[in-house]
Structure 1
Amino acid sequence: MSYVVIKNSSNIEIIEEENFSADKREEYLHKLIEGTPQIILKDIAERDVKTLASHLRLPSGGELDLLLVDSSGSLTIVELKRGKGHREAIAQLLDYASDLQQMDENEIFNSGKTQFNSLEEVFRSFYGNGEEYSYEEFRQNFLKSIKDPMKIQLVLASYIIGDDTKRLVEWLRNFGINILCVEFEYYKSEDKEIFVPKLLDIGDIKKASSKKTLTETQKKYLRFFSEILSRFKEIEEGATERRATCDNWLQIPTGFGPIHFEWLFRGREPNKMLEVGLHFEDVNEMLNQKLLEYFKSKEEGLRKEIMDIKFGKLGSKWRKIYVEKLVGSLDNALNDENIKEWAVMMMVKFYEVFKKRGEIDKAIQIVKSSI
């Protein structure tokens, strides 16, 4: 039996692993993940994720557990098993995916099971009235997810995933089916529950994802971020082992999970902007706001280091400290050495001011003690 050790000041608590299915019903796990889908998707989704529908009734009469949507508009179907995840659960996932793809946008939002009234309301819940991502791109990704079998993501989450199930999932991946398994360990004491999710076969998943065909825009993002990330790593050795991505943003970790540095393209050509900033993307909006207010109180000193620094919102619940530059288009960013130099040196400055001087550590300690 495995265990976890929790140290709080001078107190040490040892909590042993328990069988989650021994005294928990499936609905308990359902409600837990419905409220905080990041519990099982932290290693899968780099974007923010929300529950779109719970117990959604499908045309055939079946009922999927959870339908999730991320901030790009892409969908994930989740099947939950409190005990051992069997091959029958994989068959259910495939059946639900094929059934969902018989529905259209209106049928989903008129089902009475969604937590939003429209797709545009979902979009606004992520971005408010900002321009970080266009609604049309968001909607196109959503529509692809409910029409293209290769675009929707399937996730089986269970206390234990059987070996026969793993083999079946691996075989399906070879045919381009985007299906993943999340197993979790469960620990319980008198007043605590600890879940330790683990994405299975993540090495194979990363290999599969690297085979995706990229659009011309994605190729441009990948080229730009590959170059500036390489330059940043040469200056700040050991800051990150991450590789460039084909998204319109790239994160640099701070060591505090949802708090990170980020390069971000936003807006449309010919008025596209490039941001460099520190983002607070915790699920707790109050924590994000308090951290922003903490640094806002130090604005005068920060402006001596970073002259054009700004403070603002990112979507509906996240916050950011950033600088921005008008780049016009992705091609301009790729071909203009001054833009790339600006992007690298501003990230170096943010990293130095906030990370290397320990300002993020101080802010978190002070803010968390006040909440």
Structure 2
Amino acid sequence: MLPFSGAAPGSRRALRDDAVLAAAVTLLAALLAAFVRDEHRPDAIGWALLMAANIPIVWRRRSPQLVLLAVAAFVVPYHTAEFTDIAAVPVEMLALYTVAATGRPRRALLTGLTVVGVPLAINASVAPYQVTEVLRISGWIVAVLLLGVYVRIHRQYVASVVERAERAERTREEEARRRVAEERLRVARDLHDLLAHSITLVGVQTSVAAHVLAADPERLDRKAVAKALDDIAETCRSARGELRATLEVLRSDPDEQRGPLPGLDGLTDLAAAARISGAEVDLSVRETPADAPPAVGAAAYRIVQEALTNAVRHGGPGLTIRVGVRTEDAALKVTVTDDGRAVRDPDHTPGFGLVGMRERARSVGGTLEAGPRDEGGFMVDAVLPLVPVGGLR
């Protein structure tokens, strides 16, 4: 497991790389044994031991300690016979390095104590004159073990850095996806609120014009028809302006400051637009703080807009709508009720209006309840804290 080798232990690539490495170390050992001047050059047995010591290197990553024992089984007799010592050094150091680079520092320490301590003890009792030589060689052994420990620690550090970088990248990607999802949801809510409201008013106003035209063609009320058509044109102009503003936001830089949010001061226009459609609208806005958070005001505006749209669409003729906005218990309370008598199809698939209103309320930390009233009609009741937890747009 050299610093430049990244193959997984036991894989084909690892075996192939280590086989090539074993061949290179064997060639180096043969060159050292053949050309280094030494009066104890290996004989046939020495060559066999030297060559056999390099074979286990092929499996060094799979079983580092067993490979070290196998190498020792061949090099110990080789050194005992006092053949050319330097020829066996490469395979010995490679086996020691592998043990240190693949295990914990404690294993490297125990290996070093064993490899150094056993020969030192034997030579001290049998051949004291060789103790100095053993100590000299021990320095190289310690250096190789320390190199293996350093490589292992460095690899762990690099792996941790890479892992942190990947985790940070995943976090950034998830945050980007979350922002995209939130932006898509916001755009969907805005377009739904805008188009549903405008299209509903246009539909009602068109019905009024058609009714006037068909009621009594002989005595056509041109002023009523002109008034209905003017209302339709005004609604279309208003919708076109809001749609253009929404598209400009989509085309602009997300980091740029967006335009002002719709707020409580726009409720009067919403009520007037609903009156044009033929509904009687009673708007009551009282005790609202002038410094209410813009996000809360925008949420209230959109909730009233959607509630009026639904009431006009489903309430039927002779509709009366009551809109109440007030401050109570540090929250803005929005109530929209109607006395519509239209019968709704129970199999009708609900749209996104109620879902959008609830999302508007939740976006500022509020709640919203909606449903039919016992006395008839429909009710929307929202509570919007004046200290919002999120923003709109």
TM > 0.5: no
Normalising by the residue count of structure 1, what TM-score does the alignment of the two structures yield?
A: 0.19
Higher helix share: 2
Q: Which has the larger radius of gyration?
A: 2
Higher strand share: 1
Q: Which has the higher contact order (CA 8 A, sep 6+)?
A: 1
